Each structure stands twice: as C-alpha cells, then as structure tokens.
C-alpha cells in the first residue's frame, strides 16, 4: 500500500514537471514568434519609410480657404507607414511591442532621414496609436463584425496623434504666440497634414488591418500571445511616460 502511494506521488511529480516543461517550451515558442513578427514589422516600417522619403508624389494643386488662410488641401508625409506598423503591433503583439516596434522603427529610420525638434512628441504619438491597437486586442475586437469599430478607433487614433503633435509644435514656440489664438492658428495650418493622415492611413487600414482581422478570425497564421500582468502595466505606463518627457523636453 505504501509502495502504491509512493508511486502515485512520483507520478504526480513527474506530471507536474512535464506540464511545467511544456508550459515553458510554449512560452519560448510564443516569445520567439513575437520577436520574429516584431522584427518583420520594424523592417517593413523602416525600409518603407526610408524608400518613400524622397519618392512620394507631389500633392494635388487643390487649395482650401479657412478664415482667410489659403493653403493646400493635402500635405504628403510618411505618417501612414509608421501609424499602420504601430497599430498592427498593438493588435497582434500587444504588451511591450506596442512601444518597442514604433520607437524602433522611428529611431532606425530617423538616423538616416532625420527628424525635428518635437521628436518625442512624434514618438509618443505613435506609441499612443500602438496602445490603441492593444486596447482593441484585449477587448477582443479582432473579428470581421468589429471591422467598423476598429477603423473608427483607428481614425480616432490619427486625430489624437495630430492633436498631440501639433500641441507640441505650438508649445515649442515654432512661430506661434502662446495664446489660444496662436494654438488655433497652429491647428489650422496643420489641417492639410491631418486630412492627408486621415485619407492615407484609412486606405492603408483597409488594405492591411482588414485582411489581418480576417486571418485572425479564421485562425490562419496569426497566433494569440499571452500578456503578463507586469507587461500590461508597463504597456499602459509607456505612452504616459513618453508624453510627460515630451512636454518636459520643451519646457526645460
């Protein structure tokens, strides 16, 4: 009887060890896949941003009149490239990668094509978009019936980015008075960029995010990744810390 009880304990111990090893191997496999996908996203964003830097077409000669201020309807830039990469990193990878992917993409490409003095505002803006993608992920919005919601939230992310970065432009004193009128003028002059951001990124979301959601819902090639509690907390803190640093960098 004692031998039977001892064998039972040994078998339970073995089962526990096996389960622990299986879980550890699963975590290693998942982390490897996350790293591979993150590297591919960073490579795509970096290469595309560098390639298009001097190859974007000229915007159409269409002008708008806003309170007597005549300016082009569109001003082309590379926002949509990093915006899509950021959103996808949040939707697919989540966790640390919501800020690792957009910041890595910006840092690598900025070394080659440069950036401006509100660099922390642009970086934190893209991290914010990545975080928005992560929120959609944890709310299980990766299904076809939620496509309008995802696109709508993505558009809100674009607007938040423009509101935030143009606030940085005004705060940095780039030719604007530190008054409400100066802030309003700053946002008015940014309308051509905002319209381009909305148009280009919405089109990109349709061609990139929609197929990803379809594949995800049908469990084709895109796995689910577990996010630890500490990873969730750091993911929430990252955009807030970057935004605080952005403001401090211009005030002091």
The C-alpha angle with vertex 124 and arms to 75 and 38, in degrees rounded to 5, equals 95
End-to-end CA distance of the chain: 77
The C-alpha angle with vertex 193 and arms to 50 and 113, in degrees rounded to 5, equals 20
Indicate the pTM of the whole model. Answer: 0.86
| pLDDT tens, residue by residue, 181-240 | 999 999 999 999 999 999 999 999 999 999 988 887 777 767 778 888 899 999 999 999
For residue 102, what are the domain limits?
2-251
Q: From the CB of residue 69, how many other CB atoms can be counted at a distance below 10 Å?
A: 11
Helix/strand/coil (H/E/C) assignment for every residue in 89-156: HHHHHCCCHHHHHHHHHHHHHHHHHCCCCCHHHHHHHHHHHHHHHHHHHHCCCCCHHHHHHHHHHHHH
Rounded Cα distance between 153 and 168, Å, is: 23
Number of domains in the chain: 1
Instruction: Look at residue 17 in the predicted model and tell me its pLDDT.
Output: 45
| pLDDT tens, residue by residue, 5-32 | 655 555 555 444 444 444 444 455 468 8
Lowest mean pLDDT among 14-23, 41-50, 142-151: 14-23
Phi, psi of 71 (to 5 degrees): -155, 165
Nearest to 65 by CA among 199, 200, 167, 192: 192
Instruction: Look at residue 8 in the predicted model and tell me its pLDDT.
Output: 55
Is the model's pLDDT at 42 over the cut of 80?
Answer: yes
């Amino acid at each position: 009887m004692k031998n039977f009880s001892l064998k039972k304990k040994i078998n339970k111990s073995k089962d526990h060890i096996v389960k622990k090893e299986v879980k550890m191997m699963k975590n290693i496999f998942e982390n490897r896949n996350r790293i591979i996908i993150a590297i591919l996203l960073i490579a795509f964003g970096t290469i595309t941003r560098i390639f298009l830097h001097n190859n974007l077409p000229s915007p159409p000669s269409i002008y708008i009149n806003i309170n007597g201020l005549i300016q082009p309807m569109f001003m082309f830039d590379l926002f949509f490239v990093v915006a899509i990469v950021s959103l996808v990193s949040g939707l697919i990878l989540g966790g640390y990668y919501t800020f690792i992917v957009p910041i890595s993409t910006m840092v690598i490409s900025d070394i080659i094509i440069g950036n401006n003095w509100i660099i922390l505002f642009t970086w934190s803006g893209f991290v914010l978009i990545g975080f928005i993608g992560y929120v959609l992920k944890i709310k299980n919005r990766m299904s076809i019936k939620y496509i309008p919601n995802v696109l709508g939230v993505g558009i809100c992310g674009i607007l938040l980015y423009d509101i935030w970065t143009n606030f940085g432009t005004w705060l940095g004193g780039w030719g604007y008075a530190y008054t409400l009128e100066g802030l309003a003028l700053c946002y008015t002059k940014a309308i051509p960029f905002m319209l381009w951001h909305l148009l280009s990124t919405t089109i990109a979301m349709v061609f990139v995010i929609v197929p990803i959601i379809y594949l995800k819902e049908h469990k084709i090639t895109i796995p689910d990744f577990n996010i630890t509690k500490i990873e969730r907390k750091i993911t929430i803190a990252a955009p807030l810390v970057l935004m605080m640093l952005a403001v401090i960098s211009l005030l002091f």
